[in-house]
Amino acid sequence: MSLLDTITSPAQLKALPATQLPELAEEIRAFLVSEVSKTGGHLGPNLGVVELTIALHRVFDSPSDAIIFDTGHQSYVHKLLTGRHDFSKLKKQGGLSGYPSRAESEHDVVENSHASTALSWADGIAKGRRLRGETGRHTVAVIGDGALTGGMAWEAINNIAVDKTLPLVIVVNDNERSYAPTIGGLAEHLATLRTTRGYEKFLDWGKRSLARTPVVGGAMFETLHGVKKGIKDIVAPQGMFEDLGLKYVGPVDGHDEQAMEKALRQAREFGGPVIVHVITQKGRGYQPAIDDDADQFHSVGKINPETGLPFEVAGRIWTDEFNDEMVAIGRDRPDVVAITAAMLIPVGLDGFAAAYPDRVFDVGIAEQHAVTMASGLAYAGMHPVVAVYATFLNRAFDQLLMDCALHRAGVTFVLDRAGVTGSDGASHNGMWDMTLTSIVPGLRIAAPRDGDQVRRQLREAVEVSDAPTVIRFPKGDVAEPLAAVCSAGDVDVLFETGEGPVDLLVVGVGAFAGTGIEVGEKIAAHGRTVRVVDPRWVVPVSADLVALAGTAAHVAVIEDNLVEGGVGSAVATALRSAGVEAPVHPYGIPKRFLDHASRGQILEALGLTADSIVVDLEPRLS
């Protein structure tokens, strides 16, 4: 039996002699490479936190002590040390979540996998426990240097720092990367901390120098204070944290388990908020991940564990269409600039960055800043394209509404991974974006049905200079081009049984245009007249779509967004306002959080397949 097999709870881990911990760490890394290569998942981040997580569970008493991971994708080692060894269905239906999950274990605290939130969670937990008199319990937040670029983390630090007795340990896991190398002033500050030693020696030198300086009284004090501050700022930049009132410990080698335990015990006993600065290597122990400059091993699909190469060559995805067209637009439009929130490669801006490096801005994990910065760029005469995952636009809604739309800023938002994404679970499904953005005055939403439409509608969007525009597309392989049989104004007709009035108008939104065609064909096979359309720009509802609905007895709208407040709701409202009496049958995502599973399994469970929709819709047409 391996050492790892004997660890079913932190209690067994604590009982291991320190001499066996390097062997355990090696077994954990071998397990991660073997198992994650079969299922896919976040490999690089977890290889980097093996010793750190071992030390956390040997020093603290989970679940009595709360350990909170930000963003949670580096919690695989935590899962193993708390008894979850079956990774055979990781991120798959019925298997382990790729993030902490309260349903899985009492050791898991925060399920949300949006970055920069752990410090606020920890602040609330620590203060709440103190108010309840639970003085013997500690709270630990593990946050990466990438997540520290998010403004919410600093809002939390601002509040934590004033509470001198709060039993809170903040572990900064500094590996210089999020999806890619961490950028910005904080990254430079941490880099200085990583390479600087000897503050006290320099301070002693300063005092000795002053002793030989012919100054007296207040001048002596001011000179000493000035030298101390100058040396501290230059040689010991941890002063930034200490000046805020936070005790600083580090930097600590995050792969030296015994050093980690010593630092964490010191922090635990301090009795107030402490930052433990830990230096780790993303992908530690697995050479393909260490050699990876583009962070492809941050999250992997099924790979050959020997080489790190994928078993299947990836096809062309939706993001590729956006990537290529942005480069072309950049060539034609020197006013077009791009903004990303620490995800240059995943959202497809790496091509634009290579071609026009001065016109792309990576703001770190700071979507709020990205949106307001984009509004400023628009005011200055540029046309910004803000590319984020659909789920992350939720974080910047106020900025979209008040800074961008209120000021009629010409900003294009490109939302990747819109709709059901599946395996990453509830917090990563991009199912809220059309509901949220559709209430913003003046904003227009495009939902391309294929790669050709991504390119065409992106071009149309950047031509809009007096209002925000949104383009959204899903995760995965791009759909085959769907040619329109004809157009009705701005609306593309994809299938129809004939001209004139029809029994059913099917509106297929974006990637669901193909599903709409399948539904139309199946309904038509039952002897009914059908027209299937793609409105292309789905919000606001176009007059051309309203006119087509006026020639139909029923309207069905199919989308991968919330049913409430989605395109179907917008169509129903527009028809009522125009006096069109055709009932609208919306098909979309119900208002609930979705468990992790494949996209296909989730769509099947929600009834968002052609067969399920036809079964539900056919009786309604009678």
Average pLDDT of the segment spanning 162-181: 78
Tell me how long the chain is. Answer: 622
Residues with catalytic function: 282, 367, 395
Q: What is the pLDDT of residue 573?
A: 96
73 in a labelled binding site: yes
Tokens of 41: 């998942």
Partner residues linked to 533 by β-bridges: 493, 507
pLDDT band at 312 (very low <50, low <70, confident <90, very high): low
pLDDT of residue 297 exceeding 80: no
The sign of the torsion formed by the CA atoms of 486, 490, 493, 494 equals positive
CATH number of 318-472: 3.40.50.970
- In degrees and rounded to multiples of 5, residue 56 shows phi and psi of -55, -45
pLDDT of residue 522 exceeding 50: yes
145 in a labelled binding site: yes
113 in a labelled binding site: yes
Beta-strand ranges (E) seen in 175-246 are: none
Q: What is the pLDDT of residue 185?
A: 58
367 in a labelled binding site: yes
CB 621, CB 504: distance < 8 Å: yes
286 in a labelled binding site: yes
Same CATH topology for 4-196+237-291 and 486-621: the answer is yes
- Among 265-279, 321-335, 451-465, 513-527, name the one with the lowest average pLDDT: 265-279
Which CATH number does the domain 486-621 belong to among 3.40.50.80, 3.40.50.920, 3.40.50.300, 3.40.309.10?
A: 3.40.50.920
Q: What is the pLDDT of residue 72?
A: 82
Q: How far, in Å, CA of 169 to CA of 171, rounded?
A: 6
Tokens of 611: 């067969």
The domains of the chain are located at: 4-196+237-291, 318-472, 486-621
SS3 (DSSP) at 57 = helix
CA angle 317, 323, 328 (to 5 degrees): 135
CA 295 to chain centre: 15
pLDDT band at 243 (very low <50, low <70, confident <90, very high): low
CB 250, CB 278: distance < 8 Å: yes
Domain 4-196+237-291 coded CATH 3.50.30.30: no
Q: How far, in Å, CA of 139 to CA of 267, rounded?
A: 11
Summarize pLDDT for 257-286 with one digit per residue, the tens.
Answer: 999 999 999 999 988 899 998 888 877 867
147 in a labelled binding site: yes
- Among 31-40, 146-155, 288-297, 589-598, name the one with the lowest average pLDDT: 288-297
Average pLDDT of the segment spanning 7-17: 93
Annotate 139-149 with b (16+ C-beta within 10 A) or e (fewer).
bbbbbbbbbbb
SS3 (DSSP) at 151 = helix
- Among 443-452, 526-535, 593-602, name the one with the lowest average pLDDT: 593-602
Cα atoms in the 13 Å half-sphere on the side-chain side of 363: 19
115 in a labelled binding site: yes
Average pLDDT of the segment spanning 422-441: 86
Q: Is 466 exposed, middle or buried (0-12, 13-18, 19+ CB in 10 A)?
A: exposed
SS3 (DSSP) at 237 = coil
pLDDT of residue 460 exceeding 60: yes
- Among 122-126, 519-523, 536-540, name the one with the lowest average pLDDT: 122-126
pLDDT band at 419 (very low <50, low <70, confident <90, very high): confident
- Among 51-60, 153-162, 447-456, name the one with the lowest average pLDDT: 153-162
Q: Is 27 exposed, middle or buried (0-12, 13-18, 19+ CB in 10 A)?
A: middle
Summarize pLDDT for 205-220 with one digit per residue, the tens.
Answer: 444 544 444 444 444 3
416 in a labelled binding site: no
Q: How far, in Å, CA of 386 to CA of 389, rounded?
A: 10
Summarize pLDDT for 131-145 with one digit per residue, the tens.
Answer: 899 988 999 999 887
pLDDT of residue 295 exceeding 80: no
Tell the residue number behind the tokens 């990876």, with chain if given: 292
Q: What is the mean pLDDT of the chain?
A: 86
CA angle 333, 335, 341 (to 5 degrees): 110
- Between 312 and 495, name the one with better pLDDT: 495
